[in-house]
Amino acid sequence: MRLPFLACALALLVAGCAPTAPPRAAGGGVPSTAPPADMPPPDAPAAEVLLSGIAITGEWTAVGALDEPEADRDLRSGMLARRLTIERGGHAMLWGEDRRAGTEPEYYEGSVTGNALTFDDLPGEATLEIRSDGRLVFTDPRGRRTIYERG
């Protein structure tokens, strides 16, 4: 008597563990193994950062200042140095060194969203603009504008 009961219980257990068919594509037919349309592939690269349709990812070096003759001269002579790096996905890093003041180099991290650039340890929001000559204009929260070139 116990044998039929055990055989029946074992059959139910095996049936419950049977693999299920993968979900079917819309309209039936072929099984669907693709991820949902709104899910990026796990190894997809981060998005390119675009400004007015132009990719701005990469290294940028300050080459001049608008409206500030002293800063412009010092950037050109190397007494003042600034470098901006924008990575895919919008992560940004800003390095600066002021040899005139003899201070330690400064470093800030932040992010680019649209044409806005914010840094974790700096107040306010900077803006970015791409010029027709391919240079980048960085306007800090106080309105000071610095010109950057790639490289």
Domain of 68? 63-150
Tens digits of residue pLDDT in 45-86? 678 999 999 999 999 999 999 999 999 999 999 999 999 999
> What integer pLDDT is reported at residue 68 of this predicted model?
94
Is 124 part of a structural domain of the chain? yes
Distance (Å) of CA 52 to CA 9, 59, 115: 68, 18, 9
Q: Is residue 46 part of a domain?
A: no
Higher per-residue pLDDT: 21 or 39: 39
Q: How far apart are CA 29 and CA 113, in angstroms?
A: 43
Closest to 86 in 3D by CA, of 66, 70, 108, 103 = 108
| 126 contacts 145 by C-beta, under 8 angstroms | no
Q: Is 27 left (phi over 0), alpha (psi -120 to 50) or beta?
A: left
97 contact partners, CB below 8 Å, separation of at least 6: 80, 81, 82, 105, 106
* Residue 45 covered by a domain: no
Predicted confidence (pLDDT) per residue in 91-136, tens digit: 999 999 999 888 899 999 999 999 999 999 899 999 999 999 999 9
Indicate the number of domains in the chain: 1
Domain-located, residue 40: no
Rounded to whole angstroms, the Cα distance separating 115 from 111 reads: 10
96 lies in some domain: yes
